[in-house]
Structure 1
Amino acid sequence: MVLLAVISLLVALAALALAVVSLRRGQTSGQRPSEEALPEDVHGLRQEVAALRAETRDALRHLAVVRYDAFGDMGGHLSWSLALLDDSGHGVVLTSIHGRAEARTYAKSITAWRCEQQLSPEESEAIEHARPQR
């Protein structure tokens, strides 16, 4: 039984070595299969990936939160600004200012990474943090 296990292990290692050699040869030659040589299901998967990318462009997937003290006499960073933006920089920045007796919340519309209303430094920081790095 042990002999059978050892033989199986040696065959598996040999197959792995052949696969690694084959993979390295393919990488060093720099050749990729032509579009026509790919199986039909690969073409279908590429189309699905392209469709999913198109759908997610409008998703609010870039976000950042900046927490801060709005008033000098209060601590704890209870105030915050939250930027929620899509790939084109369209979305909203939400801000909550926490005071001793109340909290106020504001929403400002963002278009192409800019706002028609004046932004606080914290709101601008949240938008910049949400912006994807280039």
Structure 2
Amino acid sequence: MALALAIVALVLAAAALAVAVQVLRRTRARADGSDLPGDVVGLRREVAALRAEAGLGFRHLAVVRYDAHADTGGHLSWSLALLDDRGDGVVVSSIHGRSEARTYAKSVATWKSEQQLSPEESEAIGAARA
């Protein structure tokens, strides 16, 4: 009786192994994607294109708040860095005074600006990059 059960178990295990091998042969992924239906390959290309395009959006952001003048308080002045994955974008600063506020924008390319940056603007770019 035990021998009969062992033989049945062995036959079932062999059958399960054969089925598993067949499933693996059908689902084994190839590097070129040739095993996939055409719409899945197209979707992979579209996802890759969207990822590349997303890198051009402003994904690195940072704000630095500070007191621009000794006679003002509350950290009402600020510098905002808006940069993409390559470090291209803009840094915008608003300098708050007692009776007025001025806003400036400076272009940034590869994490640097051709215009002279204030320490706070440099800090904002550094924080955005981190």
- Normalised to the residue count of structure 2, the TM-score between the two structures is 0.70
2: CA distance between counterparts of 1:49 and 1:66? 34
- The 5 Å alignment of 1:51-90 reads 51-90=49-88
- How far the C-alpha of 1:113 sits from its partner, in A, is 0.7
1: CA distance between counterparts of 2:63 and 2:42? 38
Match of 1:103 among 97, 101, 104: 101
- How far the C-alpha of 1:71 sits from its partner, in A, is 1.6
Percent identity reads 70
Deviations 1:47-85 (A, max 9, x none): 111111222232222211111111223211100001111
Match of 2:29 among 18, 29, 33: 33
Match of 1:121 among 112, 119, 127: 119
- How far the C-alpha of 1:45 sits from its partner, in A, is 1.6
Which 5+ residue runs of structure 2 have no aligned equivalent? 1-19
Deviations 1:11-68 (A, max 9, x none): xxxxxxxxxxx9xxx9xxxxx6223223333212211111112222322222111111
Question: 4+ residue runs of structure 1 moved beyond 4 angstroms?
Answer: none
- How far the C-alpha of 1:109 sits from its partner, in A, is 0.9
1:11 is matched with: none
| Count of matched residue pairs | 104
2:89 is matched with: 91
Larger Rg: 2
SS in 1 for 2:75: coil
